[in-house]
Amino acid sequence: MKKNIIIKVCTGTGGIASGGEEVLSAFRDAVSSSGIKAIFNERCSAQKVGCRGFCAKDVLVDVIINGEKTTYKHIKQDMVQRIVDEHILNGKAVEEWTVGEDYHTFHDRQTKVVLSHCGEIDPEDINAYMAVGGYDAARKAVCSMTPKEIVDTVKNSNLRGRGGAGFPTGLKWELGMRIKSDIKYVICNGDEGDPGAFMDRSVMEGDPHSVIEGMIICAKATESGHGYIYVRAEYPLAVKRLQMAIDQCRENGFLGSNIFGSGFDFDLRIFQGAGAFVCGEATALMRSIEGKRGMPSPKLWRSAEKGLWDRPTVLNNVETFANIPRIIMNGAEWYSNLGTERSGGTKVFSLSGKVKNTGLIEVPFGTSLKKIIYDIGGGIEGGKAFKALQTGGPSGGCIPAESLEIEVDYESLAQAGSIMGSGGMVVLDETSCMVNTAKFFLEFTQAESCGKCTPCRIGTKRMLEILERITSGNGKEEDIDLLEELCRYIRAASLCGLGMTAPNPVLSTLRYFRDEYEAHIRDKRCPAAVCKDLITYSVVEELCTGCGACKRACPADAVRGTRKSPHRIDADACVKCGTCFDACKFKAIRKQ
């Protein structure tokens, strides 16, 4: 009996961290040693694929026999032989290792465009990409379409830049097309510095050719001959696979001189950034490529007019470029119909925080936050109450539970006091302190400020000092008004987007959770019992058995009492480490 067997092993960053490369090697060794090809006279291969999205289940493995797929989760090297023996050789899946309904729900309720090939094809093999239609769009655009036809298609698709600002991509390309210059550039922004964001990284690792193909099409539309992919050096796997893809394109005549035999020349290279968050800003990124310090410049003109080395430059992010081949092949109307009237297509988000199903998701614009958190994300971890959703990374804002019906698009999130950003979503539950959350994100933006302009350099520092004062129990009544005043000045006077949006976490939490600020200041109490200086620990006498576990665990000798008698905590000696709380099996320690 002939069989066609394909084994796909996740080797994205999450998969590799969980042992994906060892699992892949084990499958290849097991398949070879088991003599599968000889036994069944069949085709059998073990392949690497990119991120599957549901990283909490890594290492994820697909076993596909004659088109029938079984997906396994949490696979380790020593589990491989059993899958080979029972499933591949004897046709019986190892049921206790297969994914559950949550995995299928997570994927089935998404609409994948950008992520359609991630986790499905070998990202290091150009032939695998071409087998699913790769470079057909670039060939069509370069050989059969005029720059204006390409630009009109992108404009009609309603594709907006996925880097955060949401500027219409077609309008940017149109300006780049109209500007005449003997040298023009196309840049892909793969810097992605938001904490917890891994959308662009996963695309560069899992489907690098889609990004390159989108850049080729942009180069044709704007008549540019040179390109750069700006990637942070902290993404070594993305850098490696992008470079492999570039080399393969050159070998196949898709980059360099006379690409596709059309007479059009375009080539690109990778530039590795040093990890500065501010280099995600367009002008800072270009200064970095020029070999200068990555600092923003006043935007006296658009980069499509004067950008890299003062030449016309079109800059988009990874996700934006990855959408382009699909738009060219499927048409503008197809893509625009996926989203809303003002925002076409889908958006990739990294879903993290206090939600059951964390990972990478892709949904059409217009999808409600409720559907994302509960239908795809599976709801709140541990059955706790949903409190807020933080979107847009450190420059974003917090959206409260009463706004869960908001449909995701640029305008709706802005009206709610947040931003789309690059696509980070952090779910917060009832145990989250909103004042502390604002402080966390402000610590990041303040540390990442380049220091060039005073409002950002000094203003964010003063705001952070106020938040530290409030969370330590030393807040003053006038601090809330002072915070709001500083936010207004920083937003209005900062040079670049980092400073302009840095106040968002503070403003949105003040807007929806002012009562928590007031509790910290007036009552010297953290309602969520998160801020260490405002926490008190006490013993509930009727629950205390006098077992002494808390006393033995306490590093400060702050627990008083004798065995089999209710204990008490000396507030003056307590260092508020929480060790007693964790040690008590009878829930007799109250944290408030």
Provide the residue type at 459 as one letter. G
Confidence bin at 551 (pLDDT 50/70/90): confident
Residue 326's pLDDT is 97
User: Residues 428, 432, 434, 437: what is their CA dihedral angle, to the nearest 10 degrees?
Assistant: -80
> Residue 37: which pLDDT band, with cuts at 50, 70 and 90?
low
Look at 162 and 77; give whichever has higher pLDDT: 77
Evaluate if residue 319 carries a pLDDT over 70. yes
User: What are the tokens at 343?
Assistant: 């925002």
Query: Which domains, ranges and CATH numbers included, belong to the chain?
Result: 4-99 (3.40.30.10), 126-336 (3.40.50.11540), 346-429 (3.10.20.600), 434-523 (1.20.1440.230), 536-591 (3.30.70.20)
Distance between CA atoms of residues 68 and 63, nearest Å: 8
Phi, psi dihedrals of residue 202, rounded to the nearest 5°:
-65, -35
DSSP symbol at 395: G
Residue 275 or 142, more confident:
142
For residues 347 and 100, what is the distance between their CA atoms, to the nearest angstrom?
26
What pLDDT does residue 38 have? 60
Between 68-77, 301-310, 364-373, 532-541, the lowest mean confidence (pLDDT) is in 532-541
Contact status, residue 205 vs residue 236, Cβ threshold 8 Å = no
Which pLDDT score, from 0 to 100, does residue 23 have? Answer: 95
Name the percent of the chain lying above pLDDT 90: 62
CA nearest neighbour of 324 among 428, 441, 172: 172
Q: Would you place residue 382 in the very low, low, confident or very high pLDDT band (cuts 50, 70, 90)?
A: confident
Tens-digit pLDDT profile for residues 491-522: 888 888 888 888 999 999 999 999 999 999 99
Q: What is the pTM of this model?
A: 0.91
Average the pLDDT over 236-261 and give the result.
96
Reported as a pLDDT band with limits 50, 70 and 90, residue 363 is very high
**For residue 535, what pLDDT band results from cuts at 50, 70 and 90?**
confident
Whole-number pLDDT of residue 400 = 92
Question: By percentage, how much of the chain surpasses pLDDT 70?
Answer: 98
pLDDT confidence of 40, banded at 50, 70, 90?
low
pLDDT at 35: 66
Residue 50: pLDDT band by 50, 70, 90 thresholds? very high
Confidence of residue 468 (pLDDT cuts 50, 70, 90): very high
* Pairing status of strand 61-65 against strand 68-72: antiparallel
Choice between 150 and 558, residue whose per-residue pLDDT is larger: 150
Smallest CA-to-CA distance from 427 within 355, 501, 525, 356 is with: 355
Q: If you search the block for the tokens 């929806």, which residue do you land on?
A: 512
Residue 315, pLDDT > 70, answer: yes
Higher-confidence position of 305 and 299: 305
- Residue 67, burial from CB neighbour count under 10 angstroms (0-12, 13-18, 19+): exposed
Q: Is the pLDDT of residue 570 over 70?
A: yes
* pLDDT of residue 416 exceeding 90: no
Please write the tens of the pLDDT for every residue from 203-229. Answer: 999 999 999 999 999 999 999 999 999
